[in-house]
Chain A
Amino acid sequence: MDSGPAELEFDAEIPFTREHPAWATLKRLFHHRLFLFGLGLFGIILLAAALAPWIAPVDPTKLAMRFKFRPPGADFAFGTDNFGRSLWSRVIWGAQLSVIIGFSVVALNAVFGTLIGALAGYFRTLDNGLMRVNDALMAFPAILLAIGITAVLGPSMLDAILALAIVYIPRTARIVRSSVIVLREMEYVQAAVAAGAGHWRILRRHILPNAMAPLIVQLSFLFAYAVLSEATLSFLGLGAVPPTPTWGNIMAEGRQYMIEAPWIITIPGIALMITVMGLNLLGDGLRDVLDPRLRIQQ
């Protein structure tokens, strides 16, 4: 074995093309069939929410008693309710409300859940105390805690958002904390510490970016829970006050007329299902692509 082999015509090794890692992930995401389907479903709802002022110009709270209880048909695409209000209008504006609520809860979770989780995971002295309070908040059945908080704050959309945020932040914090605890022990973090990097820098540059994957998956499922929970709260009369057309409110009001006018509860119910299913499929797709190992924890 002296000099290396002379060059031959055929190359037995595959050349390695380099692309930015994020591109590869995005490509895989957009080839994932369920993800695309979920994106489609949720996209419809998003679109309806964004275009509400143009596609549903009729005021959703406007009463028109002479049109009451019209079934879905030519004049009224989704029919009318007991006050003659256009269900089409109400459901479309309800979509906008659902999206705003879901997004707000997710945003609050992203900020505060990450903050608390990162602090607890990184600084061992804070961990015990923070996690005790966290566990206590998680011990409450979710709806009951939300009900309690909305009772304190009064029924309104903003308060429902705050209540749901408080209910779910502990769970988000736990997930971020788990990631941080694992990442804290990684060798490149130890190396940064040895090089004299400050705590915040390490958190910001090394730990948090790598903790993003499980967080993003959790946040997309959280959007779904938030929409579902808010609908439950307003169904119970604890969310935004009528005549605000949240889907839960529409269904609560329509409950008494469910035999004569079943479309009042059915259509918002289906809209809810489409939204939640779309978000769940998105979450599944994100999880499959970003970290298949998460499939067990969900």
Chain B
Amino acid sequence: MSLLELRGLTTAFQTARGEISAIEDISFELNAGEILGIVGESGSGKSVTALTIMGLLPQPPARIAAGSVRFAGEELTTASPNRMEKIRGAGISMVFQEPMTSLNPVFTIGEQIMETVRAHERMSTSGQRERAIEMLDRVGIPSATKRLNDYPHQLSGGQRQRVMIAMSLACRPKLLIADEPTTALDVTIQAQVLDLLMDLRDELGMAIMIITHNMGVIAEVADRVLVMYAGRIVEQSPAADLFDAPQHPYTKGLLACVPTLQQDRHRLIAIPGSLPEPARRPPGCRFASRCTYRIEACGTAIPPLVMQREDRAVACIRADELVAS
């Protein structure tokens, strides 16, 4: 049985213009020890998916319109708030994008890690301290014992992100969701943080869901990849296969956008057009207006996610013929 299983998850928001779905029909599985990358541009619904799993969306104006989220066999969409509080931090943890503002400025980092332990496990204060020091060590913060008494503003951005990771691991969760964990960091620090995540996976057997818009990060760490566009999954594949032979036109476009040293171009390539407004989505494939391969039929119905192989799926009606070409 997989650790995390999503089936047909649809989350909608109540807005001034009526109810709009932010994500639709999201289905995938994640197993222990796996790193799943979710990639897509801003507004594609990646973060909403993560927040829905965590139960962090305020229920008005958000609403889980359909589908299920099963974690270790337990259904999360109908779990009580108390139950979710117990799962968050101990079963599933999340790390966010902005390390500069994600830590409480008036408490020491030691206290912020210790309170996580306090909330989920029965442990003496000295035990909590030990765990906090262990975590800071594990994420590579030097002189951890002294650092316990530091405040967030005394740390750099990279260090704060490490503290966030330490905090999220303090209760040994089975699943870690990392939402753009390196976007706000320098390139060198990015590499360190990604290495850290992979080491932790190897040591602890943790599953990691990493959300990003950066294909380079995906190439670096992901075992499997989910490509999202306008609230839907358009391609699902093992990482290596995705880079070798992308099948969805959007994925092809994303990969073509990444400049390489071998290219002999003078201008950067971009996918023309932009994401459709959620309130005014066209019928049919949402990528159609920007797709060079579109045909008449693309505008009539949303293409379903079809399994090409046991481990690959694409949501494009022309996928088979495009592979051949």
Interfacial residues, chain A to chain B (CB-CB below 8 A): 1-2, 4-5, 8-10, 12-14
| B282 & A13 in contact (Cβ 8 Å cutoff) | no
Q: Quick check: A13 and B256 within 8 Å, CB to CB?
A: no
Using A12-B273, A12-B280, A13-B276 as known contacts, say yes or no to A5 and B294 having CB atoms under 8 A apart: yes
Task: Count contacts on B: residues with CB < 8 A to the other chain.
Answer: 20
In residues 222-269 of chain B, which contact A (Cβ within 8 Å)? 253, 256, 269
Q: Does B80 contact A (CB under 8 A)?
A: no
Residue pair A13, B271 in contact (C-beta under 8 Å): no
**Which residues on B sit within 8 Å (CB–CB) of A9?**
299
Residues of A within 8 A of B273 (CB): 5, 12-13
- Asked if B253 and A5 sit within 8 Å, CB to CB, the answer is no
Task: Name the contact of B277 in the complex, choosing from A1, A5, A8, A14 (C-beta under 8 A).
Answer: A14
A4-B272, A5-B273 are known contacts. Are A10 and B290 too (CB-CB below 8 A)? no
Provide the main secondary structure of the chain A interface. Answer: loop
Q: Does B274 contact A (CB under 8 A)?
A: yes
| Bound complex: CA A2 to CA B299 (Å) | 22
Identify which of residues 280-325 in chain B touch chain A, using a CB-to-CB cut-off of 8 Å: 280-283, 288-292, 294, 299
Contacts of A4 in B (CB 8 A): 272
The reply to whether B289 and A5 form a contact with Cβ atoms under 8 Å apart is yes
Other-chain residue from B253, B289, B292 in contact with A12 (beta carbon distance below 8 A): B289
Closest 4 CB pairs of A and B: A12-B276, A10-B282, A12-B289, A4-B272
Cβ-closest chain A residue relative to B290: A5
Chain B residues whose CB sits within 8 angstroms of the CB of A13 once the complex forms: 273-274, 276-277
Query: CB-nearest residue of chain A relative to B275?
Result: A12
Q: With A1-B253, A1-B256, A14-B277 as known contacts, state yes or no: A8 contacts B292, CB within 8 Å.
A: no
List 22 interface pairs A-B (beta carbons < 8 Å), by A numbering: A1-B253, A1-B269, A2-B292, A5-B273, A5-B289, A5-B290, A5-B291, A5-B292, A5-B294, A8-B288, A8-B289, A9-B299, A10-B282, A12-B273, A12-B276, A12-B277, A12-B281, A12-B282, A12-B289, A13-B273, A13-B274, A14-B280
Known: A10-B282, A12-B280, A12-B282. A5 touches B272 (CB 8 A): yes
State the CA gap A14–B281 with chains docked (Å): 11
Complex contacts, B274 vs chain A, CB 8 Å: 13
A2 to B272, CA, bound (A): 11
Bound CA span A10–B283, Å: 9
In the assembled complex, how far is the CB of residue A247 from the closest CB belonging to chain B, in whole angstroms?
44
Q: Which of B256, B271, B272 has the most CB atoms of chain A within a 10 A radius of its CB? A: B272
Write the nearest CB–CB distance from B65 to chain A, whole angstroms. 23
A15 to chain B, nearest CB (A): 11
Docked CA distance A1–B268 (Å): 12
Minimum CB distance partner of A2 in chain B: B292
CA gap between A13 and B279 in the complex, in Å: 10
